[in-house]
Amino acid sequence: MRAFSCVILNVMANETGKPITRGRHFIVGTSEVSPYINIEYAGNKISHVYGFVHEIIVWMSEKHDFTFEYVEPPDGAFGALVNGSWNGLVRQVIYGEIDIVATAFSVTYPRSKSIDYTFPFSDDPMAILIPYPRLDSTISGIVRPFQYEVWIGIIFSLLILAIFLWLISRFESRVSREPFRGKTGLFDHFWFLFRVVANSNDVIAFTLATRLIVTAWCLTAVVFVNSYTSSLVSYLMAPKFVPVITTVQSLADSNEISLIVLRHTSVESTLFAATSGALAKIGAHLQSHPENQLKFLENIEDQVYYQGKAFPHEETSLIVRIHDDLKATKRCRLAIAKEPLFPDQHAFGLAKFSPLTKTFNNE
């Protein structure tokens, strides 16, 4: 969670001067999203609720003299527009079945046209839960100390320098009209420069010019060998983990990882509404694989780890899930991708033109 600000219920007087909250009993719609709202049950009924959103509701009820009770949406949905009608918590607010939505309730433009939001109390990006990064192969560590562009540059410089030395040798041989001892072929010069790194004892026909060039190359080779050796040791001695994805674009392009989402949420709606870019590509793949649209959040951790899935959710909630999974399995199985799917804000939801909207926002 990047930022947090309490939304405080203000006292608003009605025509008789009595605050509209005093003595009222509010029905609060909620759905479990740890650590925002955690729910415990006694049978099929809610027995205990905790979490920092719950603490806000409790604080407001004590200060402004009202009571409340929690209910959950019968369909378990937060609220999505399906076939022209809203479901979940949004539907309950619209039809007056609940007074307030109190959970990690995302602020979206389509919802704002049908219900009111308070000022956001949380700025928590929609992060992506992925399998823990895999261990990189130690064999690849042989070439990893330098990037491929560096290796290409080294080989290219060897070739150019060998040609240059060979041309100088040929030119000075003709000028002096005296044959040189040793090897003077183009490949011989190239092979000598390459083997300088390995302390070669090859004999090359040296002149003053070639000695200066070879000396400069030897100094360069010393720097190269020491840099390579130190980097190679660190690659081989320290384990290096490579994440399966890092960005939203890499998720869209991946053939190994596919996204799973909870149905009728802001994530699903955003992906389906996207018309271009990585989100549109992910949304199209999701629509073609309805099995990845989940009705319930069950065994998400196992699906991500064993089936190679990615699951978007509030970053704060994912941190809790990773911590709980580590305690339960004693293994590091999960991680969060470097780039979130998209920014996300949370607020309390209220009926359109509800007097409570102004009350919430005046504080």
Ranges 157-171, 196-210, 213-227: which has the least confidence:
196-210
Which CATH superfamily does the domain covering 129-133+243-336 fall into?
Answer: Periplasmic binding protein-like II (3.40.190.10)
Backbone angles phi, psi at 204, to 5 degrees: -125, 145
Residue 6 scores a pLDDT above 50: no
Strand partners, 204: 183
Question: How would residue 38 be classed by pLDDT, with cut points 50, 70 and 90?
Answer: very high
Does 3-123+345-361 match 129-133+243-336 in CATH topology?
yes
Q: Which amino acid is at 21?
A: T
CA 139 to chain centre: 28
**349-351/115-117 β-pairing:** antiparallel
Strand duo 126-131 + 334-336: pairing = antiparallel
CA angle, 49 as apex, 44 and 50 as ends, to 5°? 150
Spatial distance between the Cα atoms of 77 and 72, rounded to a whole number of angstroms:
9
Q: Given 3.40.1390.20, 3.40.190.10, 1.10.10.10, 3.50.50.60, which CATH number is that of 3-123+345-361?
A: 3.40.190.10
pLDDT tens figures, 117-136: 999 999 999 999 999 987 66
Cβ neighbours of residue 151 closer than 8 Å, sequence gap 6 or more: 143
Which tokens in the block code for residue 117?
């939001």
Residue reference for tokens 């609720």: 49
Residue 361 has what pLDDT?
A: 76
Query: Which of residues 310 and 160 earns the better pLDDT score?
Result: 310
Quickly state the pLDDT bin for 142 (edges 50, 70, 90): low
pLDDT value at 144 more than 60: no
Closest CA to 360 of 29, 8, 4: 8
What does pLDDT average to over the chain?
80
Mean pLDDT throughout 1-11? Answer: 38
Which is higher by pLDDT, 289 or 138?
289
Average pLDDT over residues 229-246: 70
Whether 355 and 116 have beta carbons less than 8 Å apart is answered as no
Q: Tell me which range, 41-50, 172-181, 202-211, is most confidently predicted by mean pLDDT.
A: 41-50
Instruction: Report whether pLDDT(141) > 70.
Output: no
| DSSP H helices in the chain | 52-64, 88-94, 109-112, 148-176, 186-195, 208-237, 248-253, 266-273, 277-287, 300-307, 315-329, 355-361
CATH architecture of 139-237: Orthogonal Bundle (1.10)
119: nearest Cα among 3, 264, 19: 3
Residue 276 predicted with pLDDT over 80: yes
More confident residue, 139 or 84: 84
pLDDT at 64 over 90: no
Question: What are the residue ranges spanned by the domains of the chain?
Answer: 3-123+345-361, 129-133+243-336, 139-237
What CA dihedral angle connects 299, 304, 308 and 310, to 10 degrees? 130
Structure tokens at 88: 């979940």
Contact 120, 126 (CB under 8 A): no
Give the phi and the psi of residue 27 in degrees, each rounded to 5.
Answer: -95, 120
* pLDDT for the residue 156: 73
The pLDDT, as a whole number, for residue 270 is 94
What percentage of the chain has pLDDT greater than the value 90?
A: 53
Please state, for a pLDDT cut of 70, what percent of the chain lies above it: 66
Instruction: Give the tens place of pLDDT for each residue, 67-80.
Output: 999 999 999 999 99
Task: Decide: 128 and 78 in contact? Cβ < 8 Å.
Answer: no
pLDDT at 203: 45
By mean pLDDT, which of 41-45, 83-87, 242-246 is the weakest? 242-246
- From the list 26, 107, 28, the residue with the least C-alpha distance to 73 is 28
Residue 157 CA: distances (Å) to CA of 154, 160, 162, 165, 196 = 5, 5, 8, 12, 14
pLDDT in tens, 288-330: 999 999 988 888 999 999 999 999 999 999 999 999 999 999 9
* Confidence (pLDDT) at 61: 87
- Mean pLDDT, to the nearest integer, of 152-171? 68
pLDDT at 184 over 80: no
More confident residue, 33 or 235: 33
265 vs 195, which has greater pLDDT?
Answer: 265
DSSP for 194-250? HHGGGT----B---HHHHHHHHHHHHHHHHHHHHHHHHHHHHHHS--EE-S--SHHH
According to the model, what pLDDT value does residue 233 have? 65
**CA distances (Å), origin 340, targets 78, 92, 246, 314:** 21, 30, 9, 9
- CA 123/CA 297 separation, integer angstroms: 22
Between 286 and 206, the more confident residue is 286
pLDDT digits (tens, 9 = 90+) for 18-36: 567 788 999 999 999 999 9
